Amino acid sequence: MQRISTDVELKLALNQLQEQSNWNKHHIKDEFHLLMDNLKPINIVKQTLSDLVSSSEVKESLSDLIIGATTGVIAKNIFVGETHNPISKISGMLIEMLVAKNVTNNAEQIKSIGSSIWNKLTNRLN
C-alpha cells in the first residue's frame, strides 16, 4: 500500500478498506449459508442419490437386479401358482430366490443371448 500523507488520502483509504470489509462480510455470509444448506441431511441424501443415479455401474446393477427379481417372481408363479399350502409357499419362495439369484449373477450372458435371439427374429421378419 502507498504511503498516506494527507487527510484526503487517509479518508479515501479508510473508505476503500470499509468497502472491502463489507464485501468480505457479505461474501462470508453467503458462503456460510451455502455450506449450511449443503450440510442439511435431506440435501446430502439428494446429492448422494443423484450421484448414484448418474453412475453407469449402479444403473447396470439395478437393471440386473430388476431383471432377476422379475424373473424369480415369474418362475414362482409358473411352478407354484397361487396356493394356501405352507410347504408350496416355502418351495415357491425358494424357487423365486434361486432363479432371481442365478439370473442376476448371469445377467450379462442372458442379455447377450436375448439380444442375439431378438436380432435373429427381427432379421427374419424383414
Encode pLDDT of 33-85 as tens digits: 999 998 898 988 988 888 877 777 777 788 888 888 888 899 988 888 888 88
Domains of the chain, by residue range, sit at 1-54, 56-125
User: Cell 448422494 maps to which residue?
Assistant: 48
Of 77, 112, 114, the residue nearest 93 (C-alpha): 77
Residues 11-28, mean pLDDT to the nearest whole number: 95
So what's the pLDDT on residue 49?
82
Residue type, 122: T
SS3 assignment, position 82:
coil
Q: What is the pLDDT of residue 122?
A: 86
pLDDT of residue 1: 60
| DSSP assignment of 44-86 | HHHHHHHHHHH-HHHHHHHHHHHHHHHHHHHHHHHHT-S---H
Do 72 and 92 contact (CB within 8 A), yes or no? no
Entry pTM? 0.49
